[in-house]
A and B are shown apart, each in its own frame.
Chain A
């Protein structure tokens, strides 16, 4: 752990600096460069704390140092309250990390979102992930009002408009529009499965530059989905980072399958977990193997790791999987 270094202010606070503009690049962030360079990228999800202590953000981020290219900050994931994704990204950006700011349409209307995008740009946040978001009924405030003024595709359209046309939706001009690298998610496993590829095409036509998927535990299904994606030529228009995750036990897996909408876990995974002596270890082993399998799929540009409450294992899993080869992602430890 490197937290004492943070507390001793080895990492001085300064606004993350944008990289120089590059031909053919949308943003001035590191994440896009890794992808355009053709390197296999690794992204990981950070769970924003239920606290005002910024060190909790830094502690979690430090767990990924040297193994992750970009860090996703979730926006009220599962419709539960946590520190806001804008602020988590701002903190990360100040250190120099490459954050991906998730925006959920559940809680903010188009006025709030456009304001956040400008703020994010001012804080050198270069990547956003446009999401519809879980419904309020999934979280700890089911009595809250749903917003859903936009949906994920409208949100992509909005971000693209701000960026490329340099104006708000109203048409009012923006000086220095945010140069955002826009991502979105797709769940290849929900019915009707045939329509998923069309939905993906729609998202890419709207302007998505990269795609991070929902948890993929069913590799044959993912491979089938990816081969259709390649056939449609979609992998030439956007970068694909399938999502993988850790399951702490077969009980957790069962709970996720029954309670988290849209997560598809095949029986083979349950069998492996149930047959293992140490289920937590087995869950990590599965995740490591999934990463290796994902890397071999045609059209894939990287992997997205969602290791909720097991963030400390991410570095080890990436290391064991060998997906990075000899490459070492940027780490603040090299910088300071």
Chain B
């Protein structure tokens, strides 16, 4: 939802606090669930991630979530799906070149990031999206990857 999404980058610091507090809990819960159910709940979990992140961030379920590095603005809402900053076509009012009625996702991202404690994360280079993850849950993937590490 567009308004919820603008709210997220506007209150990026609060979202960051919530994210830092909840993400370890969510991930470890998912790890336990995965251990017990052996992936049988993947579909409902993916579905709930889609609903929650869809409402809060207009999440497009790319499966390569970088929200915490992009000022809580989902870069997949950029018509060019840019992952590393805006293109050269941002309008003088800060709106999108392609959708003039929409605020540039990266203008949102920079303003969100500047409010966050980890405001250097936006400077990390994000390589292109891995399209094999499209539609899958970034939460489950992270949970499973962590599981392999630990």
Contact bitstring A148-185, B, C-beta under 8 A = 1, else 0: 11111110010000000000000000000000000001
A132 within 8 A of B: yes
The one of B80, B84, B94, B127 in contact with A191, judged by C-beta atoms closer than 8 angstroms, is B94
- The CA of A152 and the CA of B126, in the complex, are separated in Å by 11
Q: Which residues of B contact A106 (CB under 8 A)?
A: 80
Given contacts A191-B92, A192-B94, A192-B110, contact A148 B85 (CB under 8 A): no
B125 cross-chain contacts in A, Cβ below 8 A: 153, 157, 202, 205-206
Size bracket, chain B contacts:
20 to 34
Is B67's CB within 8 Å of the partner chain A?
no
Q: List 17 A-B contacts (CB under 8 A).
A: A106-B80, A135-B79, A149-B128, A149-B131, A151-B84, A152-B87, A190-B89, A191-B92, A191-B93, A191-B94, A191-B107, A199-B86, A202-B84, A202-B85, A206-B125, A262-B88, A264-B92
Residue of A at shortest CB range from B83?
A151
| Interface hits, B50-94 → A, CB 8 Å | 79-94
**Complex Cα gap A184–B80 (Å):** 17
CA distance A293 to B64 in the complex (A): 45
Query: Between A and B, how many residue pairs show CB distances below 8 Å?
Result: 93
Q: Using Cβ atoms and an 8 Å threshold, which residues of chain A touch B86?
A: 190, 195, 199
By a beta-carbon cutoff of 8 Å, the part of chain B in contact with chain A is: 79-94, 97-98, 106-107, 110-111, 122-123, 125-129, 131
Instruction: Given A187-B88, A192-B110, A195-B110, decide whether A262 and B97 contact each other with a Cβ distance below 8 A.
Output: yes
Cα separation A139 to B112 with both chains bound (whole Å): 32
Structural contact, B89 and A262, CB atoms closer than 8 A: yes
Number of A residues contacting the other chain (C-beta, 8 Å)? 35
Assess whether A186 is interfacial by the CB under 8 Å rule: yes
Q: Considering the complex, give the chain A residue whose CB is closest to the CB of B110.
A: A195
Least Cβ–Cβ distance between A304 and chain B, in angstroms? 14
Q: 1/0 per residue A200-218: CB within 8 Å of B?
A: 0110011000000010000
Contact B84 A135 (CB under 8 A): no
Interface string of A126-161 (1 = CB under 8 A from B): 000000101101100000001011111110010000
Q: Is the CB of A132 within 8 A of B82?
A: yes
Q: Using CB atoms and an 8 Å cutoff, list the residues of chain A in contact with chain B.
A: 105-106, 110, 132, 134-135, 137-138, 146, 148-154, 157, 185-187, 190-192, 194-195, 198-199, 201-202, 205-206, 214, 261-262, 264
Q: Would you call A148 and B90 a contact (CB within 8 A)?
A: no
Chain A neighbourhood of B85, CB < 8 A = 153, 195, 198-199, 202
Q: Is the interface of B mostly helix, strand, loop or mixed?
A: loop
Q: Are A134 and B89 in contact (CB under 8 A)?
A: yes
Separation of A195 and B128 alpha carbons in the complex (Å): 21
> Is there an interface contact between A150 and B128, defined as CB atoms closer than 8 Å?
yes
Q: Which residue of A lies closest to B111 (CB)?
A: A192
The answer to whether A198 touches B123, judged by C-beta atoms less than 8 angstroms apart, is: yes
The answer on a CB contact under 8 Å between A190 and B123 is no
**In the bound complex, what is the Cα–Cα distance between A241 and B14 (angstroms)?**
41
CB of A201 within 8 A of CB of B123, answer: yes
CB distance from A258 to the nearest CB of B (A): 11
A195 to B123, CA, bound (A): 10
* Min distance, Cβ B32 to any Cβ of chain A, angstroms: 34
Contact among B79, B111, B128 for A151, CB-based, below 8 A: B128
User: Is the CB–CB distance between A135 and B92 below 8 Å?
Assistant: no
- Residues of chain A within 8 A (CB-CB) of B93 are 191
Bound-state CA distance A137–B122 (Å) is: 28
A194 CA to B98 CA in the complex, in Å? 22
Question: What residues of chain B lie closer than 8 Å to A205, measured between beta carbons?
Answer: 123, 125
How far in angstroms is the closest Cβ of chain A from B26? 29
- The residue on B at minimum CB distance from A137 is B98
When A148-B80, A154-B127, A202-B123 are in contact, do A132 and B88 touch as well, CB less than 8 Å?
yes
| Given A199-B86, A202-B123, 14 further pairs, Cβ under 8 A | A135-B98, A148-B82, A151-B83, A151-B84, A157-B125, A191-B92, A192-B94, A195-B110, A205-B123, A206-B84, A214-B88, A261-B90, A262-B97, A264-B92
With both beta carbons as reference points, the residue of chain B lying nearest to A261 in the complex is identified as B89
Please, which residues of chain A bring their CB within 8 A of the CB of B106?
195
Bound together, the chains give a CA A157 to CA B89 distance in angstroms of: 22
